[in-house]
Structure 1
Amino acid sequence: MILDGNDPAAIAAAARALRSGALVGLPTETVYGLAANAGSDTAVAQIFAAKGRPSDHPLIVHVADASGIAHFARDVPAFAQKLVDAFWPGPLTLILPRLPGVAGAATGGQDSVGLRCPAHPVAHALLLAAAAPADPAVPGDAPVWGVAAPSANRFGRVSPTTARHVHEELGEALLVLDGGPCQVGIESTIVDCTRGVPVLLRPGGITREQIRQACGIAPLSRDDLPSLTPRASGTLEAHYAPNAQVRLMDAKALQTGLDLLGAEAAHIAVYSRAALRTPSARLVLRRMPDDAAAAAQQLFAVLRGFDEQGVKLIWVETPPATPEWEGVRDRLQRAAAA
């Protein structure tokens, strides 16, 4: 069931659902999330079941504002606070030391918790409504201080960036708030703040350089501390995969492959920045934007669209090896690994 996220009655219905332990499809500026009360292990278990996701794979907890940190984390390093001040609300998740006894299921049993404050107005309205004081007229009612909300899709598949994507993937029984197409389009940047220095676990719309400028410390990569970093959402080698097989190659290799196939080329989609000669009318072509942010915003919708057109192979021009393209490159590499 899709409801208009700009309708106060829809927000109220979604908040009641969360407070009762049900799941809700939630729009954010990054992708749509599958939300449940982060403080209820029973509610969170439904997320893992609906997605087919391993229960030891941690979820990100979304809070209405920075004050929500105190409900889930026991310490905020000075550099992490600078990142909160610079980028919240926004597409940045911080891994912080977890308070004992809270959000155990949502964190996969780890002693750390990933926290984010989404910038989407519908998400913000729902988080505020869910955290309202308990209603004495409703037995068992209690505030929801944060929601665990991984992407609202089957585990490992392409993330949803519209309410329709969520509805098609998880069924009409799920209450989904429609907040329009996601503006960022790929999942949040994740920074581990439990090691004394920032460690970039997952690139996203906020770049390494922006992190460095905000907190004064250049972030390490997870490869710099492979045995020390915690598990985090969206960091499996194979992830974000459409049904069709994805292959990355440079523009020259793309053109060579098309020329070799010639007029017989079929069931192939091509997504590239370069202008290519197309020997077959049966090819599905889509031009990738030259701007990294625009490419990120449309990436998952493009991959889903190719699947809907029934292609078997998706050939993608490898994005530039520059900082602003790191998030798009990461998602495409993981999609190709699947």
Structure 2
Amino acid sequence: MIAAAEREYDAPAREASAATVPLLAVEDLVKVYPAARATLFGRRRSLTAVAGVSFELAAGETLAVVGESGCGKSTVGNLVLNLITPTAGRVRFDGEDLSAVDDARWRDRRRDMQLVFQDSRSALDPRLTVGAQVREGLDIHGIGMPAERRAEAEAMLEAVGLGGFADRYPHALSGGQQQRAVIARALVVGPRLVVCDEPVAALDVSIPAQVVNQQTDLQARLGLSYLFISHDLSLVRHVADRVAVMYLGAFVEVGTRRQIFDDPRHPYTRALIGAVPVARARRSRHGRPVRLTGEVPSPLTPPAGCSVHPRCPFATERCRVERPAALRQPDGRIVACHHPETVP
């Protein structure tokens, strides 16, 4: 493959860099949407979609971002890819501050950083064949000659299980096949980071495992890093190396897959894990499952103190008035809770 061969040529330098610099480093990322209009009483309320998120992603690693709908997961992915402009914070890719790069440099980085969309049907152009759409990235970046690009696109389709589908149109593909085509289009240019935004949420229940297994196999073969955004914790348990639990625009707990699923420390994490059928057999390890009451507060009027306290059965007066800092625990995980060790 053209793109894969070029990436292999750079592999020794990337490995040396990875020893000291994470592939992706996000520092205090914030996204605030100003109010479109004033309220009845003349006040303007802005919406904070992402409230100071920080994390790192190593080469070849999968970091899953999980949480309820509307918590800001997809916004984080869009900010990382510069599809929307952050209000504050910094995104570094391979040590380079992406806020300081010009349009020409971003063209190169677009090849390094790709997105797999949630809705494959909307992501594909019904007027173009699958092969033409997979080849499009090679055309844009001027990779190879026309015949080589066609061969590269067909080889990538073969790699995702769509050999012989290059001349078909999207309507002739099933939902799972369309999602594989979207993955092929993202991977054909040889990216190093792939942001997967709910990549199987729109598929029938029998299909997601097949698609995700394919992504995992390709990750091992091509050395990819995944930022995997999902609300499906059963799926996350299968694919993630580390997990970041998000609530109302901020991370409340970040740890390894085993830490999060087998020994969650934040009450919100415990509530999420306790609701997963596969986790029920492990509940005895961390007590009875936590049940949150009430609705998620509006990001237009976030609560004072800990953002989870209106729903948390363990909230104290301190939780109601003081926002907890995200602190590293003795086992290496990060938890934003006033009493992660004492919650019963």
TM over 0.5: no
Structure with the higher fraction of residues in helix conformation: 2
TM-score under structure 1 length normalisation: 0.29
Q: Which has the larger radius of gyration?
A: 2
